[in-house]
Chain A
Amino acid sequence: MTPNLSDLYRQVILDHSQHPRNFGSLDGAVAVALKNPACGDEVTLFLDVADGVIQRAAFEGHGCSISMASASMLTELILRRPLEEALHLNREFRRLLQTGQADDPDALGDLEVLVGVKQFPARIKCALLSWNALEQAIEGIDGTGGNPP
């Protein structure tokens, strides 16, 4: 099958990559910086967590439209969610990219448009960069459900 460019570069994706939401750093937040050494994309994800709930989320970095749009949408989606819910969304998003179908598609909101990435296997790692940072950030959060000291 010929992969379809307009499936990949949907307007929402271009919009998020050109005008990323929650772009910047957060003082006092958990920060996880990840890099894709093969292509040089870099994302630092900032999570401010209290009582097991994500209070604020932001990111910084540079990369292709897919990695930037994915990070931008991620920060919007996980805001004010409990950590377990963020992890659930993380699993759903990965399932969407692997199989083309999430179990709970409505939960992903705008992120569903990234389903087009499935046709471009070389770009899946771009879409997942900020989500890998999310997983690591949540792993680093202490038992009290707040930012580590």
Chain B
Amino acid sequence: MSDFPLLEREMNGKPLIYLDNAATTQKPLAVLQSMEQYYRTHNANVHRGVYQIAAEATDLYEAARGKAAAFLQAKGAENIVFTRGTTDGINLVAQGYLASRLQPGDRILLTVAEHHSNLVPWQRVAKQRGAVLRFLPLRPDGTLDLDVAAREITPRTKLIAVAHISNVLGTIHPIRALADLAHAAGAAVVVDAAQSVPHMPVDVQALDCDFLAFSGHKAYGPTGIGILYGKKDLLAQTEPVQYGGEMIDSVELYDSTWKPAPWKFEAGTPPIAEAVGLGAALDFLTELGMDTVHERVQDVTRYAYEKLTQLAGVTLYGPGLNQTRGGLISFNVGSVHPHDVATVLDACGVAVRAGHHCTQPLMRWLGVHATVRASFGVYNTRDDVDVLVQGIQRVQEVFLP
């Protein structure tokens, strides 16, 4: 794809093969231009000025909210909160929604595979309120057993928080089925969609989730912006966790009232250019078609999975090819430490992630200290995978001669 300027560069004297899309994606020209255009011609603070460019800035900011609503198939823009990213969105649900309704002994249900940002906020609120964290076990291939989940969900379960796609295993979890179980027990479902929204069609109404969070920067948009989707009544019941300008309705010396959701969650001047950039990223994805994006990423992932399985001594984690999996593959090369693998690949121009991927409990569950992870985006091709495979062969030459 030619519309990603950064991908033109080299790394260590080799053409860059960027395979760390689960960490962050590169940005299409349209996103970069939208932000520059915003600063060059529309920059003003939102929701404040009466002059023309202030109205333009407000319109652009609110239009991005509308684009996010349409992208997620939400009922409307009032379901869409601008956040700093997935982490920020989950923290808002933990403190603003859950904290005030948790009783001692209530349960929060997670899986062992959650990213720290879908674990630590729940640990915190559970400690504050005397609630209990429970963890759904996974099958050896990283998939969820719904029968076990059904048994684990009790009237004490107040909330289930789970990744749509695991950022290490690539498992795609059955959100709708979990949501049905949860709702039957009166629990709310929070979806960490950091890895799904960028690469597959996501319909929040079909999933019937109560909240869903993702990060703009992993969806070809800028850093510093993300989306929290929430059902309207639940957002109405959620308290702000940040207070100040913009979010208020009227302010007295000793008391104030808030705007309705989603604006009551957006205290202070928001990241306006970033919202505009995110809107442009969602336009970019919509123009390509999320089905096409999904197919492309699936194709490269399946190809990579097949190629990596053929390499002697390479261990792959997560579901096999008999399951649909997200666009990422975690693996290890014999006993070679993942950092060493990543350094050799770096020298070959291939950018991958090595480490615990912000999932330390999952690493213990897998019985490893770390893994290498290759994660794919819309611009990756089978040729990129071939370079990855050559790089891994180079690793084996250096370390396992």
Chain A: residues with CB nearer than 8 A to chain B?
2-3, 5, 8-9, 14, 38-41, 62-66, 68, 120, 122-123, 126
Contacts and interface: CB of A to CB of B under 8 A. Distances in A.
Contact of B355 (A40, A66, A120): A40
Contacts of A123: 339, 343
Contact of B369 (A3, A62, A120): A62
B399 interface: yes
B398 interface: yes
B12 A3 contact: yes
B356 interface: yes
Max count, chain A CB within 10 A of own CB: residue among B344, B363, B398: B398
A120 B343 contact: yes
A63 B398 contact: no
Contacts of A40: 355-356, 360, 363, 369-370
Contacts of B394: 5
B347 A5 contact: yes
A3 B348 CA distance: 10
B370 A39 contact: yes
24 contacts: A3-B347, A5-B347, A5-B394, A5-B398, A9-B340, A9-B399, A14-B398, A14-B399, A40-B355, A40-B360, A40-B363, A41-B339, A63-B337, A63-B369, A64-B337, A64-B338, A64-B339, A65-B336, A65-B340, A65-B399, A66-B339, A120-B343, A123-B339, A123-B343
Given A2-B12, A3-B347, A40-B355, 7 more contacts: A2-B13, A5-B394, A8-B343, A14-B398, A40-B369, A120-B343, A123-B339
Contacts of B355: 38-40
A39 B398 contact: no
B328 to A, nearest CB: 19
A47 to B, nearest CB: 25
B354 interface: yes
B340 to A, nearest CB: 5
B41 to A, nearest CB: 39
Which 7 pairs show the lowest CB-CB distances between chains A and B?
A64-B339, A2-B13, A64-B337, A39-B355, A40-B356, A5-B347, A65-B340
A122 B347 CA distance: 12
A23 B226 CA distance: 46
A35 B151 CA distance: 38
A4 to B, nearest CB: 8
A62 B368 CA distance: 11
A13 to B, nearest CB: 10
B332 to A, nearest CB: 12
A130 to B, nearest CB: 15
Interface string B121-140: 00000000000000000000
Nearest to B399: A14
B401 to A, nearest CB: 9
A142 B344 CA distance: 43
Contacts of B354: 39
A28 to B, nearest CB: 28
Contacts of A2: 12-13, 347
Max count, chain B CB within 10 A of own CB: residue among A5, A41, A68, A123: A5
Contacts of A63: 337, 339, 369
A29 to B, nearest CB: 24
Nearest to B363: A40
Nearest to B360: A40
B12 A39 contact: no
A14 B343 CA distance: 14
Contact of B337 (A3, A65, A120): A65
B339 A39 contact: yes
A54 B266 CA distance: 59
A7 B25 CA distance: 31
Interface string B315-344: 000000000000000000000111110011
A122 B354 CA distance: 12
Nearest to B348: A5
A123 B369 CA distance: 17
Max count, chain A CB within 10 A of own CB: residue among B344, B363, B370: B370
Contact of A5 (B344, B363, B370): B344
Interface in B359-401: 360, 363, 369-370, 394, 398-399
B177 to A, nearest CB: 34
Contacts of A39: 339, 354-356, 370
Contacts of B399: 9, 14, 65
A68 to B, nearest CB: 8
A64 B339 CA distance: 6
Contacts of A38: 355
A33 B51 CA distance: 61
